[in-house]
Amino acid sequence: MTSTPSLTPQDDHLWLEEIDGKAQLDWARQENAKTVQTYAQSPAFKALEAGILEVLDSDDRIPMVRKIGPFFYNFWRDKDHPKGLWRRTTLTEYRKPQPAWETVIDIDALAAADKENWVWHGADCLEPDYRRCLVSLSRGGADADVVREFDLHSKTFVEGGFTLPEAKNHVGWKDIDHLYVATDFGPGSMTSSSYPRIVKEWKRGTPLEAAVTVYEGAHEDMSVSAYRDNTPGFERDFVSRQIDFYESETWLRGTGGTLTKIDVPDDSNTDIFREWMLIEPREDWTVGGATYKSGSLLAAKFDDYMAGKRELTVLFAPDDTTALDSHSWTRHHLILNVMHDVVNQLEVLTPQDGGPWKRESLGGAPALSTIAAGGIDEDENDDYFLTVSGFLQPTTLYISTIGQGEPEVLKDSPGFFDASRYAVSQHFAVSKDGTRVPYFEIAPKDLKADGTNPTLQYAYGGFEISLQPSYSGSIGRAWLEQGGVYVIANIRGGGEYGPRWHQAALQEKRLRTCEDFAAVSEDLIARGITSPKHLGAMGGSNGGLLMGNMLTLYPQLYGAIVSEVALLDMQRYTHLSAGASWIAEYGDPDQPEEWAFIRTFSPYENAKADAHYPPALFTTSTRDDRVGPVHARKMHAKLAAQGHDTSFYENMEGGHSAASDNKESAFMDALGYAYLWQHIGKPA
């Protein structure tokens, strides 16, 4: 076990780092029992849990689909199929209110036959025939999975076909008889982040040990992979080296295995489609005598670029209030999803022979809601799906073809609570350094600003991930209808204003996420929406780290805190599960000069016995092999030893989502809400 810097006191809870040890699991079960007894036994809790499960299992939910060959595929869970069905239908059927579905794989039946707790991880199907797929299945929801070859025509696994044992696999088709495989090939084949370091080409009918090495990365890299783009007429092979979470290198793999690097900045995102290459630089980039802003979207002809030409077309350039959220190709067009103050607008761009790209609006979202569009089959046509959703607006799914009229409504999601009683508003708080931080507030229309409203404030604040308006029947039932106010804080570290918003809170600037979150809390209090004893905070994963820091740095602002599947011990995080993959986000605690700033946002380090903290709940999963359960275990144990009011629950299944099916999800969600209700509002 790697040693930690000597300036840190003795860690009395290091023993909890053995994830599957009997003593450790017994400890977790004992702590679980205490939490269940206190918060999950009342009739009110049972009603809360049942209401959430009804939403998750509802047959009226929109079955979102993905086109694979001639069929539209959907993965579906409900009360009769808790592990799920992978099923398909035709577009004609899908247009009907109650489509006829054909089951392709019944995960519940498969799990029973295999005596495994399988969790669906998806399927990669070989184009253009789309007959063979690589199906990924996880034991209990971990990131690691097993891979099996599957035949879509016979709907059976291929006897003697490609199979891979459990690992954090990166696998993809080259052709019907060859795979690109990055997996655990044995000692020395994995990176310090616990992902594959070596990618090989594997021929059908030969043992995995005979696969030919394509590329080897360094132990300190995050991962490597290879893949083929099988777009007819544009077949190309690529090798990717993920240096860290934000930097990568990509090579075009030629005949004979030659590698030609695609010469773009390591921190940029690239998308190669047919003759085009799109580039999104994360930093300002000067090339070909021009400088392009961070967060721009640039286009070039791929073959010309590889030949040395640097003629780039700016398809999108950000400003102080706009950022590119996503883009999607159809056969002849590019759809851009742009955010303006975290609200979407869509634009269609069309390349013109010898001229500038044509630009047309595809519409904007209704006030304070989210609109998104994506191509259905980029190789065949210009059809697209469009979704519209808001905090109080259930999702509507549309279908259309670019240039052929208004979108047609395909499916409407039901409402799971009476939205007419509530209003959505957007506000801006001012952070410690003067930065305007947006936040959404969902509250009763007749809200009284008397400081007594139970308010739940949520945020993520990391990895350039944006939190946009979306409908949640669970939040509506478990929080709004119970009398609460719900708040989403769009703090720095996220991607709401593009790369700059994210980079403003990286590494030594990490405390800005906490300052932004605190600024929103203070604004809610100043506006009379709530008060500290009625204000709860919740976040998961990186947002769970944020919650740990709000507990230790701003305890005076909150009546209770819920931290889910969180990083918390930031001195040990690089040696726990996949933690080393996030050094680019947080820094390297094994470097003394970096630990000096990391320790300022390490909740485990900063928890003190003589402080006054609000009650805190830490939830996690034994099968979480991304963050791992160790952080929550140790944080809870330390706070308890110091005499603080702390609770803990570790689901023995579930992976990083902390739940492997809808029933577990409903319990975990209800537990968090019930905990907050008991401490900041009416008991649940």
Which of 214, 210, 227 has the alpha carbon at shortest distance from 174?
Answer: 227
81, 534, 644, 656: the catalytic one is 656
Give the integer Cα–Cα distance in Å for 604 and 599.
Answer: 9
Catalytic (active site) residue 541: yes
541, 563, 577, 581: the catalytic one is 541
Which of 318, 323, 326 has the alpha carbon at shortest distance from 341?
Answer: 323
Alpha helices in 290-405 (DSSP H): 302-306
Give the integer Cα–Cα distance in Å for 513 and 656.
Answer: 22
Q: Which amino acid, 486?
A: Y
Enumerate residues 6+ apart whose C-beta is below 8 A from 25.
Answer: 622, 652
**93: β partners:** none
CA distances in angstroms from 21 to 16, 194, 213, 617, 620, listed in the order given: 9, 20, 36, 23, 16
Catalytic (active site) residue 296: no
Number of neighbouring beta carbons within 10 Å of residue 516? 31
Helix (H, G, I), strand (E, B) or coil at 209: helix
Q: Is 533 exposed, middle or buried (0-12, 13-18, 19+ CB in 10 A)?
A: middle
Number of neighbouring beta carbons within 10 Å of residue 34? 12
Annotate 519-577 with DSSP letters as a single string: HHHHHHHHTTS--GGGEEEEEETHHHHHHHHHHHH-GGG-SEEEEES----TTTGGGST
Take residue 564 and report the two structure tokens written for it: 């889910």
Give the integer Cα–Cα distance in Å for 518 and 200.
Answer: 48
Take residue 624 and report the two structure tokens written for it: 């979480």
**Dihedral of CA 603/608/613/615: which sign?**
positive
Q: Which amino acid, 593?
A: E
Per-residue b/e over 608-635, b at no fewer than 16 CB within 10 Å?
Answer: eeeeebbbbbbbbbbbbbbbbbbbbbbb
Q: How far apart are the first and last CA of the chain?
A: 43
Active site residues: 541, 656
